[in-house]
Each structure stands twice: as C-alpha cells, then as structure tokens.
Structure 1
Amino acid sequence: MARTNAKRKWREGASGYAFMSPALLILGCFLMLPIAYAIYLSFHKVNLLGHVSYKFTGTSNFERMIDDPRLWIALRNTAKYALIVVPSQTLLALALAAVLNMKLRFRNFFRVAFYLPTVTSSAVLVLIFMWIYNKNGLLNYFLELVGLPTYNWLGDPSVALIGIMIMNIWSTAPLFMVIYLAALQDIPDSLYEAAEIDGANGWTKFWRITVPQLKPVTFYVLVMGIIGTFQLFDQSYIFSAGSGGPNNATLTVVLLIYQYAFKNLDMGYASALAFMLAVVIMLITVIQRLIFKEEKLN
C-alpha cells in the first residue's frame, strides 16, 4: 500500500514537471542562462573582435567602478530621476484614480483618454516632446506668444533631465492609475458608510480608509516604478542621440552600460555594471518590502 502511494505521488510529480517543462525550458534558455552568462562575463575581459577570448580578471571590473567618474554621474542622474518620478507618478496615479472612481458624467471617456499615453510608443512620445522642447517648438511658441523669453530646453544641462521626467510622469501615471482604479473598486462600500455614520468627511475617509486599503497596491506601484526608472534607456538615448548629453545631464546607468557594451565593446565591464544595477534594484525592493510590512491583503 505504501509503495502504491509512493508510486502514485511520483507519477503525479512527474506529470506536473512534464507540464511545466516547456515554461522551464523557455525560462532557462532566455532568462537564467543569459543571467548566468552575464555574471560570468563580469569576471572576465572579453575580446569580441577577431578571435573571441575570455581572460579571467577576478574582481577588477567591479574595482574599476570606483574610479569611473561617468558611472557616478549616471548613478546620480538615475537616483535623482527615480526620487522625483516615482513619488510624482504614484501620487498622480492615485489622484486620477480617485477622481475617475467617482460617479462623473463621461467617466468612461475620461478613463480611456487618460490611458492613451500609456499605449503610445515610447519612441513616438520622445519625438513629440522633443518637438515641444525644441527652440522653435510648441513650448517656446506659447512663451513667445505671451511675451516671455524662449529657452533652449534640450541644450541646457540643468533642465534636460527634467524634460524627460515630465514626459515619463505624464506617460506612466495612467498605467498605475488603472491599477489603483481596479483596487479602489474592491474596497467595500460598507467601510465608507460606517465612516459617514461616525461623521467622517471626504478627506478623512480617503486618508483613513482608502490609503490603508491600497497599501499592497502602493507597494507594487512603487516597486515597479523603481525598476522602471532605474532601467531608463530609450528616452535618454533618443533625447541625446546616444551620448547622454548635454554634458552628461541625461546619462543613465543603462545608457552607460549600452555605451560600454556596444560602442566600446567592453562586455566584461558592461556586464559588471549590469550586475551592480540588478543588486541595487533588489536592495531597494527589499527596503521597500520592510517599510510596507503589511503589503498582503487579508
């Protein structure tokens, strides 16, 4: 009897793994193997021209980061970008979701209209905003129309990154708005009705009921926002034509990895930078998880 039960469990386990094998094979080939190969490259000096060779260098690629001034510029730009964009897009998404969750006329129309920037290609959005920020673009046209001085929005290092921030807040907040909107509709109406009986006003209900109930969703939004901002590449690349300019003002960590990997062909150091970026993102995620200790719904 015991042998029969063990054989049945083995067959059930084998059947489960058989059904999982296609997904495991795909994940292994296109996720785990590239990660392992990138870690392997980070400890080597790689020559891709002519005869491909790998020279083990130990931790020299990681030690090199300390004396790389462009890396520290990229880290500062990326951190500044994340510190401004993530809270801004989270608050804007929550505010939009709260408004669109009300019983308004043409509510469905506004939901679709606000979501349109998310489904638009990132490259197209960058080109549109480059036209807006151009010397002869829409922004300077309106400034000149009201008698204000025009500005070189794309060429000034002090505002170039801010231009990318504004574009990303505008284009990514609607995605998180939809997530918040779905979560808002799952909050029981009985909680708000009980609060009204106790004399709570609209702000009290929002702060004491809505925000705590949305804590798991907020944790998810913040984590995805951090990951997205630390992986900023295409907007910065198109804005600066791949240089990270003006004067490294739009240089991000991922753009720097691209430059080392595909312009300088320094795959070993680029892999080390990618590994460092992954560690930073994981550490930030762990810190957020410690802050949001109650992210699981009851």
Structure 2
Amino acid sequence: MLLPAAVLIIMFLIIPIALTFILAFTNTRLISPVPGQFIGLQNFSNLFTDETFWASLRNTIVFTVVIVPVQSAVALVMAVLVNSKTRGTTFFRTIYFLPVVTSIVVVSMLWLFMYQKDGLINLLLARIGIEGPDWLADPRWSLFAIIVMSIWQAMGFHMIIWLSGLQTIPEELYEAAALDGASKWQQFTNVTWPGLRATRVFILITITIAAFGLFSQVNIMTQGGPLDSTSTLVYMTVRSGFQQQQTGYAAAISLVFFVLVLVVTLIQNFLTRDKEASR
C-alpha cells in the first residue's frame, strides 16, 4: 500500500533534490550534445559576482519583509470586520475571497492593464489631480506595484485563516472582559491577540513561503524588469534553467535559495517557539 506513494515521492522529490545537488557543481546545459563536466565551485563563484543575483536577492528580501506584516495585518482587520454577527457578512466574506480562487495568471493580466500609463489606476489618480507614474516601466515603482497586487490577491486567503482562529476564542472571555470594563481595544490586546497565537504562527509561515516563491506575477507582468528591479531568486532560477538553458547554474541558484529559506525557517521556529513548553 505504501509503494505508489513511495514511488511518487522518490521520483518527484528525492531524485530532483539529489540531481540539484549534483548539477550545481557541473556545467550541464538543458539541451546540449556535450555532457556536463564537474567544475567544482565555479557556478557559485559566478553567481556571487552576478549583479542580477544580488538584485534578485534584494528584491526577494524586500518583497518578503513588506508582504509578511502588511498582508497579515490587512487580513486580520478584514477578519475582525467580517466576524461580527450582522447581515451581509457572508456576502463580504465571499467578495474578499474571490481574488484567491481566481487564477493568478488572470489576476496578473488584469493588473497589468490597470498599471499601464493610461490604465485605470492612473485615470483615477488624474481625477484627483495626481499624475501617476508608468508603474511597471519605472524601476522606482515596479516592485511596489507587484507588492500591492500580491497583497490584494492573497489577503482573502489569510482572512479566512484569521477568521477560523477568531471563531475558536470562547465568547465567554469577551463577556468577562466587558463586565470588567475593558474597551474594545483592550479586549483585542488581552483576549483576541493571545488567543490567536497558533494562527499567527501558521499565517507567518504561509505568507513567508509564498513571498519567497514569488514568480508568476513577475513572469507575466515585468519578466524581471525594468533593470532587474523586480527579478526574484525563483524567477532568476527558472530563466537561467529554461530560457538560457544553464541547468548547472540554475541548480546552484536553487541551492543558495534552499539555504536562505532554511535559515529563515530556523529563525521563525526560534521566534515562534512555545516558550512555556521549552522550559
């Protein structure tokens, strides 16, 4: 009974990981009559002197640092608003969740048209006397534009997670806090926020993983430009491995990306560990 699952895991997980570690130290190309040769650390040496790599690393870190707190905070506010037992909350939950179930390709194409120089966003800004930039063609605004679109697209998913956490908090705690004269803000800081600890950890991990894996938006909207201002590590890996057919170089980027994600995961585990259980 374990054989089918074991075969799939070996074929699509174990073998690719092993090949990545092997290919990273070779000059293998995707389509080439010449077999790859062992070149040691040459791929890593080239990588650490590649300006595109450092730009991609910087963009990935900036995107993650901004997305994690902003998206989680916006999603939490939305969850608190739709958690009230009033008419119309089901409708708003559905509306907020629609971008999540819409294909990221469709969403990216929609925002691509909205971000054009004469697109909807600049037309709305012109109504209030503001001249909007060429969002995706200006290096100063391109990454910011993708960040805004990514927050809008995924915040509904995390709103649902926050909402599930809110509904696990006993109503009696809020009633007791109200009897003690606690304000709404005091109820949130002393009842709601502590009760969402497990949910916070899950939200933090899922948003971080999604942020580090940024690819589809960049591939459709900017293709890493302008001037590598939106290139990310995942996009650079795919471009190097498939478009430029430098399989060995792409494998080296993947290993560096693996180490980066491993370090961030260890830091997250340390910061979000249960201090009471660790004593």
For normalisation by structure 2, the TM-score amounts to 0.94
Q: Percent identity?
A: 35
* CA distance in 2 between partners of 1:232 and 1:29 (Å): 25
Deviations 1:175-206 (A, max 9, x none): 01111111111111222222223222211111
2:117 is matched with 135
Say whether 1:116 aligns with 2:98.
Answer: yes
RMSD: 1.8
1:152-167 equivalences under 5 Å are 152-167=134-149
Q: Choose the corresponding residue for 1:66, options 48, 53, 57.
A: 48
Displacement of 1:133: 1.1
Q: Which structure is larger by alpha-carbon Rg, 1 or 2?
A: 1
Q: Choose the corresponding residue for 1:174, options 130, 139, 156.
A: 156
Q: Choose the corresponding residue for 2:26, options 44, 48, 58.
A: 44
1:245 is matched with 225
Does the CA-based 8 Å contact 2:29-2:248 persist in structure 1?
no
**How many residues are matched?**
277
- Runs of 4+ residues deviating >6 angstroms: none
* CA distance in 2 between partners of 1:129 and 1:47 (Å): 35
Displacement of 1:112: 0.5
**One-letter amino acid of the counterpart of residue 261, structure 1:** G
1:26 is matched with 8
Displacement of 1:231: 1.0
Going from structure 1 to structure 2, the CA distance change for 1:177 and 1:296 (only over 3 Å counts) comes to: farther
Q: Choose the corresponding residue for 2:254, options 274, 278, 282.
A: 274
Deviations 1:32-53 (A, max 9, x none): 2111111111121103434251
* CA distance in 2 between partners of 1:182 and 1:97 (Å): 9
* CA distance in 2 between partners of 1:27 and 1:80 (Å): 33
Q: Choose the corresponding residue for 1:263, options 226, 243, 252.
A: 243
Q: Choose the corresponding residue for 1:254, options 234, 242, 246.
A: 234
**One-letter amino acid of the counterpart of residue 23, structure 2:** L
Deviations 1:77-136 (A, max 9, x none): 111111111111100111111111111211111111110010111111111111111111
Going from structure 1 to structure 2, the CA distance change for 1:109 and 1:47 (only over 3 Å counts) comes to: closer
Instruction: Flag structure 2 segments of 5+ consecutive residues without an equivalent.
Output: none
* CA distance in 2 between partners of 1:137 and 1:100 (Å): 31
Q: Choose the corresponding residue for 1:286, options 260, 263, 266.
A: 266
Going from structure 1 to structure 2, the CA distance change for 1:149 and 1:27 (only over 3 Å counts) comes to: same
Displacement of 1:227: 1.1
Aligned to 1:84, the other structure's residue is in SS state: helix
* CA distance in 1 between partners of 2:127 and 2:171 (Å): 49
More helix by share: 1
Going from structure 1 to structure 2, the CA distance change for 1:295 and 1:82 (only over 3 Å counts) comes to: farther
Larger relative CO (CA 8 A, sep 6+): 1 or 2? 2
* CA distance in 2 between partners of 1:151 and 1:68 (Å): 29
Does the CA-based 8 Å contact 2:30-2:242 persist in structure 1?
no
Say whether 1:145 aligns with 2:157.
Answer: no
